[in-house]
Amino acid sequence: MRHYTQFYIDGQWVDPIAPRTAQVVNPATEEVSGTISLGSAADVDKAVAAARRAFATFGETSAKERLELLEAILAEYQKREAELGEAVSEEMGAPMSLACGFHTLLGKGHLSTAIEVLKDFKFEEQRGVTLIRKEPIGVCGLITPWNWPMNQTCVKIFPALAAGCTMILKPPQLAPYSAQILAEILHDAGVPAGVFNMVQGKGSEIGTALSTHADVDMISFTGSEAVGVQIQKDAAETVKRVGLELGGKSAWIVLDDASLAANVAAATGGMMGNSGQTCSAGSRLLVPNARMDEAIAAATEAANGVTVGDPRGNFAMGPVVSKSQYEIIQGYIEKGIAEGARLIAGGPGKPEGLDKGYYVRPTVFVGTNDMVIAREEIFGPVLVIIGYDDVDHAVEIANDSNFGLGGYVSGEDLDAARAVSRRMRTGAIWVNGGFDFHAPFGGYKRSGNGREWGEHGFAEYLETKAVIGWNAA
């Protein structure tokens, strides 16, 4: 059992001002795995005050000093990487191979990338008589989700530190363990008091307190569209910057060529990764109508081949994060059936033999783009196959969405795939796979604003100052 009942404020582990606790449930067993404290607005006030005091000094540090700090953090992160993976698996149900693999690799990758970018980042540039300075924005409120705990926490913390900002982290209530360990890593690495602070608790309380706080200069939020809208409203009173990475309903376009079956299988398996709990997941699979039967056969075989079970076993997919998330996903599966979508794999209920734990069957429908299951983010292992007549039709379907976070194009003709990618209205597109920590990540439309990852992620935490007359003509 884990008991994390203190917050990290001003370089110390401190008790909540008004003690309240909540239990954390292991989604694989439905049993309580630990306890955390729930913070209040008073705890946020204390953390913000510490961050504001620390900014006066930390905001003036050199890039070299911050680089040394990030390198010290990397050394501590590597020491506890396996421990972080175990925490991720326990808190949100990822298989150990994934939790101790890609989950923790993402956190380390964002840290290493921040180090790489900071080494060559130009905080000052002279143009004619004017000096253009990039300066830290100040005190930042970082609000993160549960689905990729290390990725979405580290992609905020480390660029903010590199820029010279101070911060208050509000981790997800459903997945609080890995954030606690990360805070210990930062402390052990020597992050100055007040630069990093962490308050656990409910988003409706801690998130609101940060978003409305007059001494918070910027909010970076990853999560649902509804909460992102509310944060923008709350932040408007103090005109603070708000960076949002919200939901998605990404299209995966499979082009008509000899690799269609293999690409359909890869897209289906990819959708089921992390139990479908990925904002950029390719949850709408677009295939040529003329080859629909072939696509259905490939998708059915791939989905049925996804093994589901105990995260500590040799399974590809674990449970979803909570009972409420399980019920939401079941509701969408039932709605797909009621809408008349053709169910070709999975379906309602839990996989055979898994009566305990929030396990969902890898599910694939064949449907149309106007169905609810093709319009709304399900955030579970549910894929919708949609047919298209030609490439123009595929692009039209892909762009017919309120979201625009991710996109995928698979095809043997690279020029054709590139041409399709240019026409898709979405923030990040993977052409035949690939991965890049320096690629900017963020959304069009209701998927949010701003960009994270790499050099573009630094911009989120910097203000631009023009000093005119710096160099007299």
Q: Are 387 and 458 in a shared domain? A: no
Same domain, 68 and 113: yes
List, for the chain, all residue ranges whose pLDDT scores fall below the cut of 70. 473
Enzyme catalytic residues? 245
Same domain, 364 and 239: no
Domain CATH number, residue 390? 3.40.309.10
* CA–CA separation, 60 and 50 (whole Å): 16
pLDDT attached to residue 11: 98
Same domain for 267 and 203: no
Q: For residue 473, is it within any domain?
A: no
Count of Cβ atoms closer than 10 Å to residue 60 Cβ: 11
60 plus 141 within the same structural domain:
yes
Same domain, 100 and 130: yes
Indicate whether 377 and 332 sit together in one domain. Answer: yes
Same domain, 171 and 198: yes
Residue 348 domain boundaries: 251-437
**pLDDT tens-digit readout, 58-77:** 999 999 999 999 999 999 99
What is the count of structural domains for the chain? 2
pLDDT for res 472: 79
Establish if 18 belongs to a structural domain. yes
Is residue 429 within 8 Å of 408, Cβ to Cβ? yes
Are 198 and 292 contained in the same domain?
Answer: no
354 in the same domain as 330: yes
**pTM greater than 0.95 (yes/no):** yes
Cβ atoms of residues 72 and 90 within 8 Å: no
CATH of the domain at 169: 3.40.605.10
Q: Which of 430, 399, 400, 420 is nearest to 278 (CA)?
A: 430
Cα 214–Cα 216–Cα 220 angle in degrees, nearest 5: 135
